[in-house]
Amino acid sequence: MKQLNTSKRIWIPLLVAISAVIGATNANALSVTAKPSKPTIQSIRASAKASKGAVDVSVSFSIASTNAKSPILQTQVKVGTKVCTASRKASKCTVKSVAAGKSYKVVVRAKNRNGYGSWSGSVSMTVKAGSTWSIASNTNPTTNPTTNPNTSPTTTISYTPVVSTNDPALNATAASTIRFDLSDAVGIAMKTGVSSSSVKKQAVGSNLLVVSSSGVTRDAVILGMVSVNKFLIAPNNRLYVHFNSPTDFGNGSTTCRLAQVYRSTGYAKCIENSLSYVDISTIQFDADGNIYYSGGSASISQNVVRRYANGSAADYVNQYQYFEKFFVAPNGDILISGRTSSNGLSWTRKISTSGQITSLSSESADVFWQFPDGNVYFPAGATCLKRYLIASSQLDVRPWASWSGSSDCSNPYMTGSSIGFLSGFYNPRVWILANGSVMSLRNTELVYMYPTMKKASQSLSRISFGIPALTSAILVGTNSSGTNQMLLYDSTNDSSTTLVDGSSEIEFYHVNWNSMQNRVYFDGLRFSDNKYVIGYLNLANKQIVASDLLAKLTDFQTFSS
């Protein structure tokens, strides 16, 4: 099925030299010949029991930054003089038989095709059975800042998210009746207005599209007929697909609703086949790569949170708890907010992997954020921000921030009128930049959430949405004249530069940054000819490539690499 009229491709020169806009820090990060950056040690854990006076020491670390064309080949962990090596994108390595009762220096370094990068900052630790260390617990604030009340007591200099490469569906059987083709896919898009019945009239096909590196689309399915309700490209670059109706996978499974699709092979494996609907936006992962999601069916009165691991699914939060939001901690604990229907009381709680419930707040959190220090932050009412410490698996005894001085949020780490603009802030979307800054939108303003709380300087009057790109944020919105624009905000110097202005005006609907291609992919309405287009802004040759798109997209996401 032809999706594009490629003869109408238009090349539009950009206003500025993108290489100058990105800046020296980001340009270095994208260099093909550069060695990896320094990893960051996240946690260290010795085995619970010693054997012949020795323990195994597991070290978790952030994957080093590198150019997408020079991928990480391995990461080396050293505990004293003993070494272990983790392959490619692994974020954990275990050093065997370390003599207990001694102090060791722990360091990590990564290697790509250009060689080893520098060693990480070292952590000194006395190793004994059951001993642990965590970056989160090591940086807990101990004093209330007074000189700069809107500055975080902790600072993260650089940040690389830890993403597990473990596959919980490894042993599941792939579908025999359906297969995808994601070759040359930099992204996935979904067409609007396609019903299950219309898809079934085709011999082969779907309403899901592959977006190639050239910005051209084609059907994502090469075997079988598929009608997709929603999809998600997860942080591990795997594709998850929620079907409009129970979909035949063959092999005895005829009711698949949620599937994991492998980018390299196009094979699909069924994750969920009993719930009648799944909220795909809730998909999360723990440190072992297990999948968590919420959904429901006619046979249960409330939604459940389900955990899929080792080829099977089980309810983690059952139908007797009315929940609104949940967050999965790396160890599998769940933070959950909701209310009790019998008395109307709201709450935020923790459910441990063993099923024990701990109360965290008498308010129901509208959102959970995990910041670069590894801890989880959530609003408790309209004037208070609390923090859950991942390392100790408990709520911080002091609130993180308060902008009203209310009695239910006493003795916070940060307070004062200077952060009052965040009152009632519940935006679920935050962007974590490579330098550890956390940004989001407060109404239509760009704001910092961490490590400082402040407004950012940029020229758009109204911001529709934004996406992170290394230490910058790509923003889409309108200026004071109502003209659609795209900006690049640089967090290193609090400045912004216009990428697309009124001379090549496009009303952007979806925007994604692909680090491997170093391009900004988008779809939107081109004002010069009133055409709906899909294309990309090439950060290397300073041009926009756009082609007519026949069917409007309801969603468009790109792979991170």
What is the chain's pLDDT, residue by residue, as a tens digit (561 residues)? 333 333 333 333 333 333 334 433 343 344 678 888 888 887 888 888 888 889 999 998 877 877 777 888 999 999 999 999 998 878 889 999 999 888 899 999 999 999 998 898 888 888 888 888 766 444 433 333 333 344 444 544 455 566 677 888 888 889 999 999 999 899 999 987 455 455 455 668 899 999 998 888 999 999 998 999 999 998 888 899 999 988 989 876 567 999 999 999 999 999 998 888 899 989 999 888 889 999 988 777 678 889 998 888 888 776 666 888 999 988 889 999 988 877 778 889 998 888 888 988 888 888 899 988 888 998 887 778 889 988 888 888 888 888 765 566 788 887 766 666 666 666 668 888 888 888 888 777 888 888 878 888 898 999 988 899 888 899 999 999 999 999 999 998 899 888 998 888 999 999 998 887 788 999 999 999 999 999 999 877 768 888 888 778 999 999 877
Cα–Cα distance measured from residue 94 to residue 57, given in angstroms and rounded to the nearest whole number: 5
Q: Residues 77, 93: contact at Cβ < 8 Å? A: yes
Could you say which of 294, 320, 346 is where a domain stops? 320
Let me know whether 131 and 191 are in one domain: no
- Cα dihedral: 171, 174, 180, 186 (round 10): 0
Do 107 and 238 share a domain, yes or no? no
Structure confidence at residue 422 (pLDDT) = 65
- Contact indicator for 437, 425 with CB cutoff of 8 Å: no
354 falls within a domain: no
Domain boundary pick from 291, 320, 349: 320
Instruction: Tell me how far apart the alpha carbons of residues 229 and 472 are, in angstroms, rounded to a whole number.
Output: 32
Asked if 103 and 176 sit in the same domain, the reply is no
The CATH number covering residue 50 comes to 2.60.40.10
Among 320, 354, 387, residue at a domain's last position:
320
Binning the chain into helix, strand and coil, the percentages to the nearest 5 are: 5, 50, 45
How far is CA 1 from each of CA 5, 218, 248, 257, 472, rounded to the nearest angstrom?
12, 7, 23, 25, 38
b/e burial code for range 514-534 (CB count within 10 A of at least 16 → b):
bbbbbbbbbbbbbeeeebbbb
**Residue 269 lies inside a defined structural domain of this protein:** yes
Please check whether residues 177 and 304 belong to one and the same domain.
yes
Listed in sequence order, the residues at least 6 apart from 291 whose beta carbon sits closer than 8 Å to its beta carbon are: 168, 260, 271, 283, 284, 285, 307, 308, 309
Regarding whether 299 and 211 lie in a shared domain, the answer is yes
Residue 411 lies in a domain: no
Position 518 in a domain:
yes
Do residues 468 and 496 share a domain?
A: yes
26 in the same domain as 12? yes
Regarding whether 443 and 551 lie in a shared domain, the answer is yes
**Is residue 172 exposed (0-12), middle (13-18) or buried (19+ Cβ within 10 Å)?**
buried
Pair (284, 300) in one structural domain: yes
Please indicate, yes or no, whether residues 61 and 181 belong to a single structural domain of this protein. no
Kindly state whether residue 359 falls inside one of the protein's structural domains.
Answer: no
**Alpha carbons within 13 A on the beta-carbon side of 195:** 3
Q: How far is the C-alpha of 443 from the C-alpha of 447, rounded, in Å?
A: 10
pLDDT at position 475: 93
In a domain, 553, yes or no: yes
Q: Are residues 230 and 188 in the same domain?
A: yes
pTM of the model: 0.70
C-beta atoms surrounding 29 within 10 Å:
18
Look at residue 5 in the predicted model and tell me its pLDDT.
36
Q: How many whole angstroms separate alpha carbon 199 and alpha carbon 248?
A: 14
Three-state DSSP at 115 gives strand
Give the chain's domain count. 3
- Which residue range(s) make up the domain with 291? 160-320
Q: Residues with Cβ < 8 Å from 176, sequence gap 6 or more? A: 249, 250, 251
- Which pairing describes strands 369-370 and 357-361: parallel, antiparallel, or unpaired? unpaired
Residue 100 and residue 237 share a domain: no
Flag whether 339 is in a domain.
Answer: no
Q: Please name which of 106, 114, 115, 117 lies closest in space to residue 84, comparing C-alpha atoms.
A: 106
Q: How far apart (Å, rounded) are the C-alpha atoms in residues 248 and 39?
A: 44
27: alpha, beta or left, given left = phi > 0 and alpha = psi -120 to 50?
Answer: alpha
Cis peptide before 451 (omega within 30 of 0): yes
Query: CA 211 to CA 546: how far, in whole Å?
Result: 12
At 407 the three-state DSSP class reads helix
Would 438 be classed as within a structural domain?
A: yes
Q: How far is CA 272 from CA 190, 208, 334, 479, in A?
A: 21, 19, 20, 45
Residue pointed to by tokens 């996406």: 467
> For residues 3 and 523, is the Cβ–Cβ distance under 8 A?
no
Amino acid residing at 31: S
